[in-house]
Amino acid sequence: MDPIASPASLAHLVAPPADSPMRRRDFVFGAGTSSYQIEGAVQEDGRLESIWDRFCATPGKVLRGETGAVACDHYHRWQQDLDLLQRLGVDAYRFSIAWPRVMNEAGRPTPRGIDFYKRLLDGLGERGIRAFVTLYHWDLPQHLEDRGGWLNRETAWRFADYADLMSRELAGHGDVAAWTTHNEPWCSAYLGYGDGHHAPGLKSNRWAAQAMHHLLLGHGLALPALHANAPQAMHGIVANVAPGYADTDTAEDRDAAQLFETFQNRWVLDPLLKGEYPADLWRLWKGCEPLVLDGDMDLIRRPIDYLGLNFYSRAVLRSAGPDTIDWVRRPDVERTTMDWEVYPQGMQDLFEALKRDYPNLPPLYVTENGMSSHDSVQGGEVDDVQRQAYLKAHFAACSRAMANGVDVRGYFIWSLLDNFEWAFGYERRFGLVHVDFESQRRTLKRSALAYADFLRERAAG
């Protein structure tokens, strides 16, 4: 018997409250992945080296020296994975295109790589699943990094060329509901060029600030081509956000919390929605202002149809002196295996604050929310109790924000599959679906079965 067809519904394990606006039929539910984390096949069909291939090959950069060379072997098993999405009953699938797979060093198309994404989109369309396509989820072609990467202004223009190519080549394939320029430019800029935790592994706050500017400039430069080539789709960007809370109710700690939110949220959102960088950022990073040319901010603040928000946790902050902040690790609170605190109320608090702070806030999509845990198959099943409770609580928090007027239109769980979790290798499991990386066997976790039951009941209702 198909476990999803079981008469004993598990929907209550994850479902939003009965009166939740998330239960509307036009609310989009989905799941997400990214190219380097699942595809593998890093040397097939003309794919070039990416910065993550190079980073993984550098000793000491990734836990246990693991790489994305095989990952979930999605490049060969994509039909099986689309069948999993269909079994779940999701409305949409969020995935990213591997830039090194679709363009050569001269900027010309790589047909076999592009054909893979055409097949993927067609397969989604055949299954009635809409696509949310991300152009950049961190796997920059290494040849561009060799010329400076996101520190080189020219990369922003090359990104616009790439966006133009893909939106033209993939036109007419599947049902692309949304194009996303960048996933989490904060991570690309700060983790990649500021603290070195991610590829390309550079360490300079000044470099991080300049990389961010060129990432956002690339976003603005890409929008006209996306609108021209895919006028029926939405066009936007995805930011990772987190609320900051003061450790104590002192002016100094409240200022520390505000500085954190400037660094984590406003560094990305102010340029996009206000056309300026937050002045408070340079209190933290004195003398690190990027080179901004005339007209750049007008390009960056071009209107977007939606804003994707990736939410996982919160931060608690205290002052460590003037213009300096410390992160506080609260004891005796629930955490995930990423050591992130589970704090669903933070989603509601932050979403409502963004609505207040940005009068021009576009419609929101939760483009990532989920958690990592130590999941294992026992008796053919994976009972991921913590993830079930995590999703249910965050669905409820999103529901409260929506009831208070925040315009949230969709919610994507991260991730469809256990996958390559960047510098943590394969140790941290975020998937709705358990992957045995030796056999590539997929097993739907209990959270996935509950999600499927909820979606089926919503569709029937």
Q: Is the pLDDT of residue 273 over 80?
A: yes
pLDDT of residue 458: 97
Alpha helices in 140-204 (DSSP H): 142-145, 154-169, 185-186, 192-193
- State whether the Cα torsion 207-208-209-215 is positive or negative: positive
Angle between helix 154-169 and 111-126 (nearest 10): 50
Annotated catalytic residue, options 49, 368, 381, 421? 368
Q: Is the pLDDT of residue 398 over 90?
A: yes
Taking the CB of residue 164, how many other CB atoms lie within 10 A of it?
17
Cβ 266 vs Cβ 332: under 8 Å: no
DSSP class of residue 423 equals G
Distance between CA 398 and CA 63 in Å, rounded?
34
* pLDDT tens sequence across 218-227: 999 999 999 9
Calculate the CA 435 to chain-centre distance: 20
- Angle at 178 (CA atoms; ends 172, 181), nearest 5 degrees: 110
pLDDT of residue 72: 98
* Homologous superfamily of 28-443: Glycosidases (3.20.20.80)
Residue 238 φ then ψ, to 5°: -120, 130
pLDDT of residue 370: 98
Cβ 137 vs Cβ 36: under 8 Å: yes
* pLDDT tens sequence across 23-68: 999 999 999 999 999 999 999 999 999 999 999 999 999 999 999 9
Distance between CA 356 and CA 201 in Å, rounded?
36
Distance between CA 307 and CA 360 in Å, rounded?
11
Nearest to 202 by CA among 264, 148, 144: 148
Taking the CB of residue 355, how many other CB atoms lie within 10 A of it?
16
For residues 167-191, average pLDDT: 98
| Domains of the chain, residue spans | 28-443
Cβ 216 vs Cβ 271: under 8 Å: yes
* pLDDT tens sequence across 423-443: 999 999 999 999 999 999 999
pLDDT of residue 1: 34
Distance between CA 341 and CA 326 in Å, rounded?
16
CB-count exposure of residue 118 (10 Å: 0-12, 13-18, 19+): middle
User: Does 126 qualify as catalytic in the annotation?
Assistant: no
Residues 6+ apart with CB under 8 A from 444: 3, 4, 84, 87, 88, 382, 432, 433, 434, 452
Q: How confident is the model at residue 165 (pLDDT cuts 50, 70, 90)?
A: very high
* pLDDT tens sequence across 100-157: 999 999 999 999 999 999 999 999 999 999 999 999 999 999 999 999 999 999 999 9
pLDDT of residue 7: 67
Q: What is the mean pLDDT of the chain?
A: 97
Q: How confident is the model at residue 2 (pLDDT cuts 50, 70, 90)?
A: very low
Taking the CB of residue 230, how many other CB atoms lie within 10 A of it?
21
- Note the pTM of the prediction, 2 decimals: 0.97
Distance between CA 379 and CA 361 in Å, rounded?
47
* pLDDT tens sequence across 195-241: 999 999 999 999 999 999 999 999 999 999 999 999 999 999 999 99
Q: How confident is the model at residue 3 (pLDDT cuts 50, 70, 90)?
A: very low
pLDDT of residue 461: 84
DSSP class of residue 249 equals S
Helix (H, G, I), strand (E, B), or coil: what is residue 438? coil
